[in-house]
Each structure stands twice: as structure tokens, then as C-alpha cells.
Chain A
């Protein structure tokens, strides 16, 4: 079987721009596909819940333009998954329209754009649940309840290789995918050329974060992966980077709890028997990967729900006695909020920098010795008006905290702003679950359109 080459220029398209120099070197290697992932749930539940991107349009356009021009020049497919950070339908439509605009701008000859959606209607899930289909929790979460579903604003399903393969088989020149497993974007491409699932998913696993599988550390550089007869080769394109046994094996464990197993829709990539060998300075070879098909076809679901409007306030403390008694200062302010708003129906959080602001309860240092503290107050409530008043009370009342032996009686905290500031609304991840489906394409309708002139 002939070898198949694929380049990945960015581990999260749009989050920061790809580096063009190593991308061009990758393009000169004449890959069979140019692919990358554009999503992450690291950005928090806000973008999914509010159906927005966290990546700026200018950076999304920059990378799509570089990739499209190179792919059309080489005449090879360009494959994108998890469009616009979240992979919601509006993000897929956005990326399709960006591709069409770029094509028009450069007067590219006509080409086929395949795309698929992955948003899941709440009522579809409700009907499934009412028929007795369990929506199983991941990571120790309990089975989904109807209350949790009601508290959800938007849900996406995580596609495997299936919708990508359908669109590639239909001759798509560009694919814009909804929410997708990172590895599936690459795996589908090389599977369409007849390579094994094991090699394809391993290739996807190693390429998904672009140059994070290379060393020295440096993101957004292009990496080239190649599959041929039972082995995967991965090569850094940047002159400054190498793919070493350590960097490639090390990447297998990045952002995951278990470095040996990768679960995708339809099965599991088993890396237990992987063998890593340095082929030359820039290239590492991996063999021995296995793919275990799943007995039941389960698809991961991600969901986010709004918990309320949010304001933040900021305060500082310099008096050592007040620093020592910061918990009492916060308790005073919380009590003032409770006296007016009660115990429920809102959230009020204090992050105390200089004490445990970064780690909270996980902070092992309990006796802090900072000479000053910064306190960030967050209030979340059903309306902006209430959130603002709770935040203002929770912030300003620290100024009036009553400490028995304090010398300074003109104000217990300092302010850089005597105001509270509205931020994006607060959301929470309501779904991290899976659902069994009969048809691998059930949640991922595919479509075809065109771009160019």
C-alpha cells in the first residue's frame, strides 16, 4: 500500500495563528491532506453555551486562508474539525462562509465544500430518555437527569471518523466539521486511502496538537505525519524542532488521564504495545498500535448551561492584621449579602490571591506570609441588576469589615476601581456524557456545497 502523508499546522485553529514558515516547508513535502482541529473544551463552557467563538475572526481567517490556498494549489483535501472552538452549527456555517469568501477573493476555481453538523436537540435527547435510553455520565458523573437537561442551553455530539469519511468519499475538496474527536479528523483522511484504523487513529492522536509532539517546546508549528504498511512516522517541519521518541511518547499522555488508551466513537486506540524508534534527527517511527472496536456504538455529548449574569469586583489588603483575618473580612461581606439576598439563588465567590487564589482548597500552604493580598469577587445571579448589587455588596462591604483590634478604621481594603464590572455570563458544563446510537451518522447530518468562481 502506498504511503499517505498529512500535515497539521495548528493544534487549535484560531486560538493563535499558525506559523507560516514551517507550514510552507510542510506544503513543499507534498502532503496528501492538510488537516487540523479548531476546537477545545479548555475554553470553558461559555462559548458553547452562548454559541460564540473565543478565537478572533481575524486569526480564524488567517489560518483558513493559508490552508485553503495551499490545499487548492496542491489539489489535495483540506479537513477541519470542531469549527470555531465549539463545533456548533453556527460555527460550521461561519467557517463555510469564510472559505467561500477567501475563494472569491483569490478567484479560486470551483471546488466542493463538504460540511456536517453535530448539534443535538434537547428534545431529541428528552425523547430518548423518555423511551428509557440512558445517557451515561463520563468521569464519574451520574446518568443525565431531565433537570440537568433542562438546565442546558446547547449540546454538541463528538463525531468520529464517519461523517468525514462520507464527505471524502463524495469527493469533498474542503471539509468543515462540527464537533469532532481531534484524532478522527486525521484518521478519517488516511483511512479513506485504505490504511488500518490502528495506524490512522495513532496518526491522528500524535498530530492533533501539531508541534506539541515535537521538541523544544513551541506551539503552532507544522508537523508531518506519514502512514505506510503498519507504521506511523512523524516529522517536525520547523528547522528548530525535532520529533523525538521522548517528545512523541510524551505527547501520547498530554491532556488525558491514561496514556495507553484513546476512546473514540466506535472503539478504542490501544497504545499499550507501541514501539517508538528515532529514525533520524527530526523523525520518530511508531508501530505496535492496535484498535479495538466497541461492542456498542456510543457517542460523547458535551453540553453547557447558563447559570446567570456575572459581575466581578477587585480589592486589595496591606494591613498585616487584616491579612491575618482575611477570612473574617470575607465572612462579614458574605453576611451582608446573605442578610439581603438570603442563602440561595445566587453564587458569590472569593479568589484570594496571596493566600490560595490559584489553587483554592488544593493549596498545601495553609500559613501564608504575603505582605499584601488581592481579592477577586465574583457574583452570579439571574439578572444583571441583582448580580451587580450582590457583587457590589460583596466587594464594598469588605471595606467596612469589623475587626476587633484593627488600627486602621477608615477602610479595611484598597480599591483600584470603586465599581464592579460586568463580565460574560457564567455557564457550567452540564453534559459530559455518552449516548448509544444505531447509526454512526445519526447525529451528524452531512451536506455539500461549493466555493470558488
Chain B
């Protein structure tokens, strides 16, 4: 990061940050912005990428099945494989609904003037 760059938390830039099962073997994460500007800002920041997700969740790249920038909805979404199918004994989150929380505090690089 250059000296004149700052960061903002993803939670302050996105309208919706959520996670949910995508079938029985995957969990999908949606980060949705209310306007084009914040969407483009995050998309181009280099702070929300396959690499940063791997670092945040402590997973290898092969656990990520999809990483998609979805312009019509101002949304970035990615999907990860579960280690065991949803609802297996010991699965702590059978709907996959609470796995997004670490994204809230993700630092997004904001270019300086």
C-alpha cells in the first residue's frame, strides 16, 4: 500500500454481506453494494480476491469453486467447498448462514488522491 492510501472496512462499503448453502457440498458468499461506485471501488481495490479470501479463511485456493463479479447486481460472490456435506454430524452451521462474519472487517484499500 502506498503512503497516501487508506483503508475502509468492507462492512462500511457493502449493503449486504451473506453466506448460505449452495447445494449440499458448498457454501456461497454474496457481497452486494447499493451503488456502482462502491462496487467498482471494491472490485478494483485488489483487497477482495481469491487470494485475500484464502488468507482470511485459512483455506487453499482449490477450496474456492467460483469467484464471480456480477455487474447487474453490483455484487461480488464466491463459493467454497465444504469439508463434509451440510448437516453431517458435527457440522456447526447446517445452513451455512453464519460463515460471512469475517468478511465484515476485511480491510479494503482506498486509493489516495
Contact = CB atoms under 8 A, between A and B. Distances in A.
Interface string B10-31: 0000001000111111101010
> Counting chain B CB atoms within 10 Å of each CB, which of A250, A361, A426, A427 scores highest?
A250
A139 B25 contact: yes
A15 B89 CA distance: 22
A380 interface: yes
A405 B21 CA distance: 43
Given A246-B74, A351-B92, A139 B87 contact: no
Contacts of B59: 362
Interface in A259-314: 259-260, 274, 276, 302, 307, 310
Interface stretch (A29-37, A41-49, A64-72, A109-117): A41-49
B33 to A, nearest CB: 9
Interface string B54-93: 0011110000011010101111010101011111111011
A141 B32 CA distance: 30
Contact of A253 (B57, B70, B83, B87): B70
A423 to B, nearest CB: 10
Given A252-B73, A256-B28, A357-B92, A42 B85 contact: no
Contacts of A42: 21, 86, 94-95
B44 interface: no
A436 B113 CA distance: 58
A255 B18 CA distance: 10
Contact of A46 (B30, B32, B87): B87
Given A259-B68, A276-B72, A364-B102, A41 B24 contact: yes
A360 interface: yes
Contacts of B84: 428
Contacts of B22: 255-257
Given A249-B73, A362-B58, A257 B86 contact: no
A306 B57 CA distance: 31
Contacts of B87: 43-46, 427-429
B99 interface: yes
B98 interface: yes
Interface in A400-446: 426-429, 432
Contacts of A361: 58, 83
Contacts of A260: 68, 70
B34 interface: yes
Given A139-B26, A357-B92, A364-B56, A44 B73 contact: no
A363 B21 CA distance: 17
A358 B93 contact: yes
Given A246-B34, A359-B99, A364 B58 contact: yes
A258 B84 CA distance: 21
Contacts of A347: 89-90
Interface in B90-110: 90, 92-95, 98-99, 101-102
A378 interface: yes
A139 B65 contact: yes
Nearest to B79: A257
Interface residues of A, number: 46
Contacts of B70: 249, 252-253, 259-260
A140 B25 contact: yes
A138 interface: yes
B66 A257 contact: yes
Contacts of A62: none
Given A42-B86, A380-B89, A139 B81 contact: yes
Contacts of B68: 253, 258-260
A392 to B, nearest CB: 17
Contacts of A44: 86-87, 94
A426 B32 contact: no
A410 B94 CA distance: 36
Contacts of A139: 23-26, 65, 81
Given A41-B23, A257-B22, A429-B24, A249 B89 contact: no
Contact of A249 (B23, B57, B72): B72
B39 to A, nearest CB: 11
B85 A378 contact: no
Contact of B25 (A246, A363, A432): A432
B86 A364 contact: no
25 contacts: A42-B86, A44-B94, A45-B85, A45-B87, A139-B24, A139-B65, A252-B73, A253-B28, A255-B21, A255-B22, A257-B26, A258-B68, A259-B75, A310-B89, A347-B89, A351-B92, A358-B101, A359-B99, A361-B83, A364-B56, A364-B58, A378-B90, A427-B87, A428-B87, A429-B86
Interface of B: 16, 20-26, 28, 30, 32, 34, 56-59, 65-66, 68, 70, 72-75, 77, 79, 81, 83-90, 92-95, 98-99, 101-102
Given A41-B24, A364-B102, 15 more contacts: A42-B86, A44-B86, A45-B86, A140-B81, A249-B72, A250-B73, A255-B22, A258-B66, A259-B70, A310-B89, A347-B89, A359-B101, A364-B56, A380-B89, A432-B85
